[in-house]
Amino acid sequence: MKTLQGPGIFLAQFAGDTAPFNSLDAIAGWAAGLGYKGVQIPTWDARLFDLKKAAESATYCDEVQGTLARHGLQITELSTHLQGQLVAVHPAYDAGFDGFAAPEVRGNPAARQQWAVEQLMLAAKASSRLGLKAHATFSGALAWPYLYSWPPRPPGLIDEAFDELARRWLPILNAFDDVGVDIAYEVHPGEDLHDGVSYEMFLDKVGQHPRACLLYDPSHFLLQQLDYLAYIDHYHARIKAFHVKDAEFNPTGKQGVYGGFQPWLNRAGRFRSLGDGQVDFGAIFSKLAAHDYPGWAVLEWECCIKHPEDGAREGAPFIAQHIIRVADRAFDDFAAGGVDAAANRRMLGLDPTPVRGG
């Protein structure tokens, strides 16, 4: 078994235009001061990171790692959640997602999609230069508008969507394979990869690609009423990143999983700061340790009630307290009597001298 690394923190929800959130050095000092040991870096935020430069320059990567090392921090993973989303966008969402892209490709879906693929290719190179083993992203979505379809979906629609999703992602997966880095898809409502079944559909389409892996976030599964502990048993070999995020689901006679178009505060299912929701993190950390999860436990703060800085301050000790330092020996070793083949045979009621041959 392996001891999880952590605590880490995803910087996306904290980056801003005021200190200490407006530069990598300043936000690193803030995170380290709260007790974090690693940071997951959003590659779209130029205040913190230059993805193109990282892909091209070993010197720049050394500077980034040096900045973090001065604060006792490491990079857990790079994130391209926003760019990954743009690898596949249904036209119904063009206007909503256009702001995720560089200004020069907005309003041009084909150019935007090409830009997104180029961003992922840069992320593969940057991750390799930084010595990282996993990369966090979204899959994007073509079939999502037809999830709960009325009128009924025509035959072949979903197959066609997943065929196209696989066609777009295979070159990216191969580029990550070339540099020895796993793509950890955050399985998430709004993405075509939103639960175990849809992930398996994608895996089939990409030929069980070894780099098509997972970012595990139990909050999304609790809100779908999916068994987030059994999910680990099914997919532990593919889980390469972990967002520690809490949630709660309190259905009423008026509202359930879909939320009734309400703002987050008024939904039956909503994200919460760590410890304020219903996720059983004790069981999750135990399962991940038992299954030799190789990576980091990274706070992703999202809460409609608590202030983000309070959520971050409480998150580091919460994660640290849940990380299990795994045992290096069995608890009953003190009673072991050593290996004695003859004694073992006697305990089984057998002749202590085995008969040789046939």
Per-residue pLDDT of the chain in tens (358 residues, 90 and over written 9)? 889 999 999 999 999 999 999 999 999 999 999 999 999 999 999 999 999 999 999 999 999 999 999 999 999 999 999 999 999 999 999 999 999 999 999 999 999 999 999 999 999 999 999 999 999 999 999 999 999 989 999 999 999 999 999 999 999 999 999 999 999 999 999 999 999 999 999 999 999 999 999 999 999 999 999 999 999 999 999 999 999 999 999 999 999 999 999 999 999 999 999 999 999 999 999 999 999 999 999 999 999 999 999 999 999 999 999 999 988 777 777 677 678 888 888 889 998 887 666 5
Is residue 227 situated within a structural domain? Answer: yes
Length of the chain equals 358
Place of tokens 């999304």: 220
Place of tokens 């990216």: 172
Host domain of residue 163: 5-329
Longest distance between any two alpha carbons in the chain, whole Å = 83
Residue 356, exposed/middle/buried by CB under 10 A (0-12, 13-18, 19+)?
exposed
Split into its structural domains, the chain has a count of: 1
Is residue 337 situated within a structural domain? Answer: no
CA 355 to chain centre: 56
Residue 42's CATH number: 3.20.20.150
What SS3 state is found at 68? helix
Angle 218-38-48 from CA coordinates, rounded to 5°: 100
Angle, to 10 degrees, between the axis of helix 109-129 and the axis of helix 157-179? 30
Is residue 173 situated within a structural domain? Answer: yes
Is residue 37 situated within a structural domain? Answer: yes
- List C-alpha distances in Å: 85 to 82, 95, 188: 5, 13, 11
Angle, to 10 degrees, between the axis of helix 58-69 and the axis of helix 24-33? 30
The pTM of the full predicted model, rounded to 2 decimals, is 0.93
The amino acid at residue 116 is A
Q: What's the pLDDT at 283?
A: 98
Is residue 346 situated within a structural domain? Answer: no
Is residue 204 situated within a structural domain? Answer: yes
Residues 116, 117, 120, 122, CA torsion sign: negative
Is residue 15 situated within a structural domain? Answer: yes
Q: What's the pLDDT at 357?
A: 62
CA–CA distance, 37 with 324 (Å, rounded to integer): 16
Is residue 86 situated within a structural domain? Answer: yes
